[in-house]
Amino acid sequence: MRKNIKGIAAGSLGLLALQLPGMTVFAQAADRKARLANALQNTVLGMGTVFVMLIAIALIIYCFKIIPVIQKKFAKKAEPGQFIILRTDEEGERIPLTIADYDREAGIVTIIFQKVGATTEKLGHLEEGEFIQDFVGPLGTASELEGLKKVAVVGGGVGSAIAYPIAKKLHGLGAEVHSIVGFRGKDLVILEEDFDKVSDKFVRMSDDGTWGTKGLVTNALKELIESGEKYDEVIAIGPLIMMKFVAALTKEYGIKTVVSMNPIMVDGTGMCGGCRLTVGGETKFACVDGPDFDGHQVDFDEAMERGSMYKPFEQHKREETCNLFAKEVQ
């Protein structure tokens, strides 16, 4: 099977992978086995087939990296809000990473990641010119941005990497874009110049006051709203706790708010159930139904509790991987 698929173009693989949203392990018992078998078959078909070369690696700080990869057919189809799934090597796990930027003419897709687990640790050790084993996508539902005239885009931490392509697309559509971006401190800042180019108003916030104004993004958003700014929509992307309070704030003012639940995705295909969440009383999956949802309908407390379940395992696997790299250099 692997040999036969090697010749398929990356674009075809992306379309193949897009069939996955119809599959979930939380189906009724009667057809659960059939769905799982079908999902497994499609996953095997969609993975293990594309090698993507890293053309450049920009080290932001010890835990952030920006990696542009050559993948022309992906770049032509990529849209803000969508994500890719990759594996670093044959024995690696699949992880979803949201597309941070794309250049359709150059055929480049850019991803930004933070080293928090085993796979991102491995990814961080790759050098320019090396290859990723698999790179599948684009997946997920693209952000709905058409028709918006004035939008506040709120990004927090590494979530700013997801907020940027949205701000960029809105700017290209002629919308007035107010970007509010926050980091813990100056050393963690990414995409500052990029946001500046696509924003009509760019508000910088930091927890320690070393970059922009000291305070929370919600403080800045509230000030803008109370100063008379009228937004068609607020789009918030960042830590779950940040998005929770942004949504709580905008609900007071009756402003439509969209949040990205990318932070809770694990598998990216709807098979593991790790990104299951409650939206408006209904069960949804961030990877197949989103990742964008109505922020006023999301049960953030449940999502945060679910997300915290994986942290000990994630940390253990990263430490295990770090130890392996340490042994290699001895």
For 6-21, the DSSP string reads TTS-HHHHHHHHTTGG
Q: Residue 20: which CATH number?
A: 2.40.30.10
Q: What count of residues does the chain have?
A: 330
**Same-domain status, 71 and 185:** no
Of 93, 113, 139, which one is at a domain's C-terminal end? 139
Structure tokens at 198: 């696509």
**Same-domain status, 170 and 279:** yes
Angle of the 10-17 helix axis to the 29-46 helix axis, nearest 10: 170
**Same-domain status, 112 and 134:** yes
The answer for residues whose C-beta is within 8 angstroms of residue 205's C-beta and 6 or more apart is 180, 181, 182, 183, 211, 212, 213, 214, 215, 216, 217, 219, 220
Phi, psi of 220 (to 5 degrees): -65, -40
**Same-domain status, 122 and 226:** no
Q: List the chain pLDDT tens, one digit each, 330 residues.
A: 232 222 222 222 222 222 222 322 223 333 444 444 444 444 433 333 344 555 554 444 444 556 666 667 788 889 999 988 888 888 888 888 888 998 888 888 888 888 777 888 888 888 777 787 888 888 888 999 999 999 999 999 989 999 999 999 999 999 999 999 999 999 889 999 999 999 999 999 999 999 999 999 999 999 999 999 999 999 999 999 999 999 999 999 999 999 999 877 776 666 777 778 899 999 998 888 888 999 999 999 988 887 666 666 566 665 666 655 555 555
DSSP 3-state percent helix, strand, coil across the chain (nearest 5): 40, 25, 35
Of 118, 139, 160, which one is at a domain's C-terminal end? 139
Residue type, 291: P
User: Can you spell out the DSSP letters for 152-178?
Assistant: EEEEEGGGHHHHHHHHHHHHHTT-EEE
**Same-domain status, 72 and 102:** yes
Say how many CA atoms lie within 13 Å of 55 toward its Cβ: 11
Question: What's this model's pTM, rounded to 2 decimal places?
Answer: 0.75
**Same-domain status, 50 and 83:** yes
What's the number of domains the chain is made of?
2
13 is in which domain, residue-wise?
2-139
**Same-domain status, 179 and 49:** no
**Same-domain status, 132 and 188:** no
**Same-domain status, 110 and 184:** no
The answer for residues whose C-beta is within 8 angstroms of residue 305's C-beta and 6 or more apart is none
Strands of the 95-103 sheet, one edge to the other: 58-61, 64-70, 108-114, 95-103, 83-87, 134-139
Q: Across the strands, what pairs with 109?
A: 69, 102
**Same-domain status, 190 and 250:** yes
Residues 70, 160, 258: CA angle, nearest 5 degrees: 110
C-alpha closest to that of 162 among 25, 301, 292, 42: 292
* Contact status, residue 233 vs residue 177, Cβ threshold 8 Å: no
- Residue 319: inside a domain: no
**Same-domain status, 96 and 175:** no
Of 91, 114, 139, which one is at a domain's C-terminal end? 139
